[in-house]
Amino acid sequence: MTRQPSRRRFLVHSAAGAAATFGAVSAPAVISAQSQARVAGANRRVRVGLIGCGGMGNGDLRDMLKAGAQLVALCDVDDRQVSKTAASMSKQFNQTAELTTRDFRKVLDRKDIDAVIVGTPDHWHALPTVMACQAGKDVYVEKPLALTIGEGRVMVDAARTHGRVVQMGTQQRSAKHFTDAVDYVKGGALGKIRLVKTWAYQDWMGNIPVKPDGPAPAEVDYDMWLGPAKLRPYNENRFHFNFRWYYDYSGGLMTDWGAHMIDIANWGMGVKAPKAAVSVGGKFGFPDDAEETPDTQQALWECDGFSMVWEHATSIGQGPYMRDHGVAFHGNNGVLVVDRGGWEVLPETETKSGKKTYRMMGEPRRGAGNEDSHLKHVQDFLDCMDTRKAPRSDVEVGHNSMIACHLANIAFRLKRRVQWDADKEQFVGDEEAQRLLMPQYRAPWVLPKVTKPTSSAAR
């Protein structure tokens, strides 16, 4: 659909010096070259560039075009990925990219691009997002927000300093049944919540056989794919989808699905981050396969007034409550269990004088229906480009939700408990853990320095 006049009205008023804000960032930080162009072009559609033409990038772009955006640029280090995406978008939407490139910086150089989608591997999330903010573009970035906690903080600061809308691709924040479940949790009927369980059991993920290193395909700029990551020989197992199972590029299921489940836990409990983490697990299902991250992992976080637990496993699907993924809020009166299929409340019991009774009435399972939460999430991003309000999965929401995931992986890799100061965003008395807050970028790549917003401009 065509974008409504609200964007035009907002930008005109902002340019005239009205007190429009994003979070608490003043209007002058919001206005950019392409924003000025949108004023001149009246209700011209949002023009987008896709950086990373893999599965999630394609899905994000597809819904962006469904919501009325216009395709301008496609970028991927693998020419085959660009060709597939270009053919798909041409067939489905009759749209053709004006620019195709291997270098995301050429996308950011386009003054007529309003927003970019960052659908790259995780180790490439921070740089394009920060640089896009500096270039005056809004950003829809896939989860997990960043490879490390430190990168996530820089992304938040870049968004605030430059007044940009940055949405993380945790589409459950836009799903009505997740919103209803969280509202129920916050309503207090469950009583005091003292435990939150989160999990992902992925029975469709099997083992990855070991393969030898070899030459990268001719269609791939492998050095650009590595980017800031450590220089290693090309190996098919570390490329495309399977990059998730190597710490150079991602954090395994802990960050891949933890980004979704722990986000809901944070939302329901209204917390920023835990105070401490411990994690155990290993390659118990497939000890000899090619993956680096554990196929079986548990994490335990200490939070104010409650504990939070994570479980994951590949190649098996029977998680807690016989569900392969979900979040369970355990209160004194009952337990709310929610997943992508719906939510329900199970009453707690108590025994008095030898008789067991229920402490509350349960709630039957309520399904998710036919709602397209991903499309709603994309639409929320586009709407916030109009209003300059924070989107549902605002960059800081995403950053906070990822902290627990990163803490668990750091605890797992260090094989011990780690303590966290949520206000200072640093480890407590732990130099070894502190060194893992920010990755060591491979030259010539450097994460741009971002001037932190002043206290009056902070969100």
Topology classification of domain 175-371+402-430: Dihydrodipicolinate Reductase; domain 2 (3.30.360)
Mean pLDDT of the chain: 91
Q: Which two tokens stand for residue 42?
A: 């009246």
Could you give the strand order of the β-sheet that contains 276-282, starting from the edge strand earlier in sequence?
A: 363-367, 342-347, 334-339, 325-331, 193-202, 306-314, 296-303, 276-282, 418-421, 426-427
Residue with tokens 């949405």: 167
Lowest mean pLDDT among 18-27, 265-274, 338-347, 362-371: 18-27
Q: How many Cβ atoms from other residues are within 10 Å of residue 403's Cβ?
A: 24
Q: Find the mean pLDDT for residues 395-413.
A: 98
Q: What's the confidence (pLDDT) of residue 455? A: 54
Answer yes or no: is pLDDT of 4 > 80: no
Mode of pairing for the β-strands spanning 166-168 and 193-202: unpaired
SS3 category, 119: coil
Cis peptide before 444 (omega within 30 of 0): yes
CB 79 within 8 A of CB 102: yes
Please name every residue paired with 282 in a beta bridge, in sequence order, or none if there are none. 296
Q: Within the chain, what is the greatest distance between any pair of CA atoms?
A: 77
The DSSP-derived string for 63-84 is HHHHTT-EEEEEE-SBHHHHHH
At residue 337, φ and ψ (nearest 5 deg) are -115, 125
Q: Find the mean pLDDT for residues 334-356.
A: 96
Distance (Å, rounded) from C-alpha 128 to C-alpha 132? 6
Domain extents for the chain? 6-173+374-398, 175-371+402-430
**12 or 137: which carries more pLDDT confidence?**
137
Answer yes or no: is pLDDT of 367 > 90: yes
For 40-84, the pLDDT digits (tens) are 333 569 999 999 999 999 999 999 999 999 999 999 999 999 999
SS3 category, 291: coil
Handedness of CA 428, 270, 59, 38 (dihedral sign): negative
Answer yes or no: is pLDDT of 231 > 80: yes
Looking at domain 6-173+374-398, its CATH superfamily turns out to be: NAD(P)-binding Rossmann-like Domain (3.40.50.720)
Could you give the strand order of the β-sheet that contains 115-118, starting from the edge strand earlier in sequence?
A: 99-101, 70-75, 47-51, 115-118, 138-141, 166-168
Give the predicted TM-score (pTM) of the model: 0.90
CB 171 within 8 A of CB 373: yes
Q: What's the confidence (pLDDT) of residue 43? A: 56
- Percent of the chain surpassing pLDDT 70: 89
Q: What's the confidence (pLDDT) of residue 413? A: 98
Q: Find the mean pLDDT for residues 431-455.
A: 92
- Percent of the chain surpassing pLDDT 90: 87
pLDDT bracket for residue 26 (50, 70, 90): very low
Q: What share of the chain is helix, strand, coil (3-state, %, to 5)?
A: 35, 25, 40
